[in-house]
Amino acid sequence: MKASNNNTRPGANSANRQDVYTRVTQSIIADLENGIRPWLKPWNAEHASARITLPLRHNGTPYRGVNVLLLWGEAIEKGYASSIWMTYKQAAELKAQVRKGEHGSLVVYADKFTKTGTNEQGEEETQEIPFMKGYSVFNVEQIEGLPAHYYTKPAPKGEPLQLIAEAENFFATTGATFRHGGNRAYYAPGPDLIQLPPPEAFKDAESYAATKAHELTHWTAHPRRCDRVLGKRFGDHAYAAEELIAELGAAFLCADLGITPEPRDDHAAYLGNWLKVLREDKRAIFTAAAQAQRALDYLHTLQKEEAIAA
C-alpha cells in the first residue's frame, strides 16, 4: 500500500485475429474475475513443497515482465511442476518431440523496426517504431526425449528461516528506511520511509518479507530512483496502477528470493479496481509488468553497488 501525498484463459491458439495486447490482457482478466491473482498462483498449496522460481528459457535464462505472469498462470492451470519452457524448434534441435495433442502457451516479444520516410518539409527522417508479437512455447513436461537434466524436479523447499535471512539481507542492502509500529503497512513518500506492523503481527515470516517487498516496490517510485509518475498514463486510475505495479514487483522479487507467502487478504479489495483498468486499457498490464520489472532491476543494481563498495 502507498500512503496518499469458471472462465477459460485464452491460449496461444485462440482468436488469431486478436492482437497480442488483447490476448494477454484477456488472459489476466479471466484470472482476476475468478478472484485469483496470477502473480500469486505459484504460491498455492499444490506448489508449497517446491522452491518457487521464475519461468526459464531452454538455456536457463529467466523470462521477464509480463511473460513471467503468463507462464506462472499456465503452469498452475495445467499443473506443471517444471519451470523450463522452449519452442517447438528448440525441442527439435535437442532431438526431442512435443507430444501429439499438446498446445503451446503464449509468450510475447517486443522489438523495434526502423522506418524511413519524408516529413512535411520534404526532409528524409528515420523513425524507430516499437512492435510486439506473440509466439508459443511448451513446458518440458509436454515434450518427450529431452536430455535428462530438463526433467529434474524442483529441489525441496528449505527451512523458511534460511530464505528469510537472504531476504532480510537483500532489503537491508537497498538502504531503504523501515520503521515498525501500528497496524498498517505503507510507503510514505514525504519522509521517504516504509512503515510496517511489528513482525510478530504477521501470520508467518514469509508473509512479513513479502509485505516488505511490496512496500519496497512502492519505494522505487521516488524521483531519486525510478521516478515513476503514472498520472499522465493512467489518469484517475494512477493509484490502482501503482498498487498493481507493487503487487507484481513483490511477486517477481519473492520469486527471486525463494519466498512463498500466502496472498494478502487486504489486497482482495483492489481486484475490482484492477479489473476496471485492464478492461478499459488492453496495454495496462504490459505497462504495469514493465514498470515492476524496472523496479526489480533497480533494486538488484543496489545489491551490485553494495558488493562493489564492500
Q: Measured between alpha carbons, how far is 256 from 76 in angstroms, rounded to an integer?
A: 18
Q: For residue 10, is pLDDT > 70?
A: no
Res. 184 pLDDT band, cuts 50 70 90: confident
Tell me, what's the pLDDT at 158?
42
Q: Which residues pair with 125 in a beta bridge?
A: 117
- What percentage of the chain reaches a pLDDT higher than 70? 80
Res. 90 pLDDT band, cuts 50 70 90: very high
For cell 482468436, name the residue. 15
Tell me, what's the pLDDT at 289?
94
CB 39 within 8 A of CB 76: no
Choose between 121 and 59: higher pLDDT: 59
CA distances, 160 to each of 72, 76, 189, 209 (Å): 22, 22, 31, 11
Q: For residue 160, is pLDDT > 80?
A: no
Tell me, what's the pLDDT at 144?
94
Res. 45 pLDDT band, cuts 50 70 90: very low
Choose between 260 and 148: higher pLDDT: 148
Q: For residue 9, is pLDDT > 50?
A: no
213 phi/psi in degrees, rounded to 5: -65, -40
Tell me, what's the pLDDT at 46?
40
* pLDDT tens digits for range 163-172: 478 899 999 9
* pLDDT tens digits for range 190-215: 889 998 888 877 778 888 899 999 99
In terms of average pLDDT, the best of 79-93, 118-132, 180-194 is: 79-93
Choose between 31 and 235: higher pLDDT: 235
Look at the pTM and tell me if it is higher than 0.75.
no
Q: Measured between alpha carbons, how far is 24 from 305 in angstroms, rounded to an integer?
A: 35
Tell me, what's the pLDDT at 30?
83
Tell me, what's the pLDDT at 264?
62
Write the DSSP assignment of 94-141 as a string of letters.
Answer: TT-EEPTT---EEEEEEEEEEEEEE-TTS-EEEEEEEEEEEEEEEEGG
Choose between 157 and 23: higher pLDDT: 23
In terms of average pLDDT, the best of 5-19, 33-47, 143-157, 191-205 is: 191-205
* pLDDT tens digits for range 243-290: 999 999 999 999 998 887 766 665 556 677 888 889 999 999 999 999
The continuous run of DSSP H or E covering 178 comes out as strand 178-180
3-state DSSP assignment of residue 62: strand
Res. 121 pLDDT band, cuts 50 70 90: confident
For cell 537434466, name the residue. 149
Rg of the chain over all Cα atoms, to the nearest angstrom? 21
Alpha helices in the chain (DSSP H): 20-33, 66-78, 88-93, 160-174, 205-219, 231-234, 238-257, 271-280, 284-309
Q: Output the average pLDDT for the chain.
A: 82
Choose between 63 and 115: higher pLDDT: 63
Among 267, 287, 284, which residue's Cα sits nearest to residue 40? 267
Q: Measured between alpha carbons, how far is 209 from 185 in angstroms, rounded to an integer?
A: 12
